[in-house]
A and B are shown apart, each in its own frame.
Chain A
Amino acid sequence: MDYKQAYLKIFEVEKPVIRYARFGRVLRFNKYLFVLQLTLLVTVFEFLVIFFLEDYFKVLSDITRRILEDSYTGSYKFLSFELEYSISPGRLPTLQESFIYFLVSSLSLLFLLSKFNRLLKYISAWLMYIAFIYFVSSFYFMFFSNSFPYTERDFAVLYVLQQTGVFLSIPILLAFSLSLFTFSWLNLLLNAITIAFSLMYSSVFGGVRYIVFAYTLKNLSYIHMPAMFFLFGPLLDFIYTVSFYSLCIYLTIRLLQTKWESFYRWGF
């Protein structure tokens, strides 16, 4: 009996209210704020991207021209925009180079698939993917080098298209996922800042990446071109985009959670 009384006392002291248990709670939701955020974030940032698109590639082209001295300038007409780029002449790999890459990638694949491989599986998986891309690329250049369908100019155009796609995707991706948080009007501000930072990061990262790629094509060879799209392309863009999303959620909870249960309500 004493135990029961003591238990009840604890219950009264420590459980003055029944908190929203995680199995049945939902998030507080303001549908007007949701629609407003979604509409505003997508339209404003898409407009900004489109507005600055030509200028961005112009600046990138200027910087590339200064770094790569023998580069030439061209432009690609995308819808009604003239997207400028600068690129240096690249070169095809020699048979010897292709063979070395083929040998290294084949041996790497064999090692990664063998029982001697002691690397962690997820690292092995990525290394296998990298080795496979180089295996295919080097094999192609060993036998069909002269049929390679791209020049450095094509690469530049493809990159411009890809980067444009990244810029246009980020606001949509983040707006749809972050607009779900409608705890306060501050969410709109926080989400807008997150998208703005993601785009800024993307513009710097995308620019640096382009220059590195252009430098690689000039000084090394086209053998690296598949890796540029399939390894270091949009896949990397999604890492920082999801990172910004994570940071935004964390800040949302930290800044807006004035008391423990302010986000939740019962879902029944």
Chain B
Amino acid sequence: MGVLIFLLKTYMVFLMLLLFLYIVRHYFFTLNRAFGKQRLYYQDVLDEDLPTVSVLVPMHNEEKVAKHILELLVASDYPKEKLEIIPINDHSTDRTKEILEEYAQRYPFIRPLHRYGDLPRGKQNGLNDALKIAKGEVIIVYDADYLPPKAQIRTLAIAFKDPRVGAVMGRVVPINAGKNLLTRLLDIGRSGGYQVDQQARYNLNLIPQYGGTVGGFRKDLVMKLGGFDTRILAEDTELTYKLYLNGYKVAYANIAECYEEAPEDWNVRARQLRRWSRGHNQVMFKYFIPTTLSKKLSFWQKVDGLLLLAIYMQPFLIFLGLLDSLLLFFLGEMEITSSYLFLLFMFAHNSFGNFAPFFQIGIALVLDGAKQKVFILPLMFFEFIFNVIYASLGFFDALIDLTTKRTILWQKTERFRNA
């Protein structure tokens, strides 16, 4: 029994220290973004010799949103002779195919890729196929529910004038933020994640993450690195690590804001979160050791890279921590969890900011000039157990994927917009 109690207490101390490390990291990011010298993006680079760009838009049953994104991409100010748009119709059974064909007839630079039959479904499979036919030097990816502004392709593509840039990432802003509690919570979470977290990591030359949409990468480089691993659901996170481990970097364009449709339904959000967690943890299993041993990364890039890899494991560790505390309670060892350590444990639960603590989101909202939104901060409480459950389930999924090599099925996020 003594050994068991020792192990349980050791785990609690480990968890507290780990979560405290995350809090310190986020506090440092907050300080850097709020007051530090910001690293300039490439938006001021003026060059007429723009790269050729292929815009890929993965779609599966996107009849509600397909027209919106295509209209906006057509209206882009990027020189049309250097632009092609490849909507990837992935086994759609609704009117997506007809809509794409209609646009392809009207605009010669829209070249849909229809994927049916035996071709395996999923974003990463679609992207791999599209890369084979894309003519652009640079690939820009948008999810189908995104609404890119007119000048955004130019803003994103210009970063590739820097030969060290392997990928670029813009900022995601929910367009339906005011719809309900969930969209409001996601909106402030995005604010903290992009306005503070991504920008700070870019400032500090750490590891800003390529997010798989509102972003792009060099086609030849990605092809050379073997394209996207079809067994990994978070192809964006995987690409980030692949690039850094090969000596390239990800540029973050805080100026490149693009509207998205955040999930309006908790069931949809639960599936999305579980999928993200599963994919992210798959990447963690694959890249934890290579990141630790890499000679291309600096010490702080390794630290940040490892903490970023483990971010979706955090809810699972917290879940174990809750079980651990309960066991300690019934074993009569409540003192360790009742006083300061337990409080620290609770504080380290990120004070309900599940991937960003409340002070980080608070600063992001002040930087965004969104003063009314600060009142939503305490409501992050509602997300707390929800995130612990669904991110933990995603962790288990990834663990099963790792051990059984089962087939990975892609689950699309449901859309809510009226067509």
* Interface pair A162/B266, CB less than 8 Å apart: no
Q: How far is the CA of A106 from the CA of B358 in the complex (A)?
A: 34
Give me the interface of A with B, judged by CB distance under 8 Å: 21-27, 29, 120-122, 125-126, 128-129, 133, 136, 140, 144, 148-150, 154, 158-159, 161-162, 164-166, 168-169, 173, 176-177, 180-181, 226, 229-230, 233-235, 238-243, 245-247, 249-250, 253-254, 263, 267-268
Q: A23-B257, A180-B359 are in contact. Are A125 and B386 (CB under 8 A)?
A: yes
B22-58, CB < 8 A from A: 27, 30-31, 33-38, 40
Chain B interface mostly: helix
* Interface pair A239/B332, CB less than 8 Å apart: no
- Stretch of B135-143, B240-248, B304-312, B362-370 on the interface side: B362-370
Name the distance in Å between B176's Cβ and chain A's nearest Cβ: 17
* Interface pair A120/B347, CB less than 8 Å apart: no
Q: A149-B330, A267-B37 are in contact. Are A246 and B254 (CB under 8 A)?
A: no
A-B contact count (CB 8 A): 163
In the assembled complex, B375 has its CB within 8 A of some CB on chain A: yes
* Interface pair B37/A177, CB less than 8 Å apart: no
Q: A150-B332, A268-B40 are in contact. Are A230 and B322 (CB under 8 A)?
A: yes
Q: How far is the CA of A169 from the CA of B171 in the complex (A)?
A: 34
- Stretch of B84-92, B156-164, B224-232, B376-384 on the interface side: B376-384
* Interface pair A180/B385, CB less than 8 Å apart: no
- Give the chain A neighbours of B78 by CB distance below 8 A: none
- Give the chain B neighbours of A21 by CB distance below 8 A: 255
Name the distance in Å between B160's Cβ and chain A's nearest Cβ: 19
Give me the interface of B with A, judged by CB distance under 8 Å: 27, 30-31, 33-38, 40, 171, 182, 195, 254-255, 257, 266-267, 269-270, 322, 325-326, 329-332, 334-335, 337-340, 342-344, 346-347, 351-352, 358-359, 362-363, 365-369, 371-372, 374-378, 380-383, 385-386, 388-389
- Give the chain A neighbours of B332 by CB distance below 8 A: 149-150
* Interface pair B195/A133, CB less than 8 Å apart: no
Additional A-B contacts beyond A177-B362, A243-B377, A250-B374 (8; CB < 8 A): A120-B266, A121-B269, A122-B385, A126-B382, A158-B334, A162-B339, A162-B342, A239-B352
Q: How far is the CA of A122 from the CA of B342 in the complex (A)?
A: 24
Q: How far is the CA of A126 from the CA of B266 in the complex (A)?
A: 13
* Interface pair A245/B339, CB less than 8 Å apart: no
Q: Which 7 A-B pairs have the closest CB atoms?
A: A149-B332, A267-B38, A121-B266, A177-B359, A29-B35, A23-B254, A125-B386
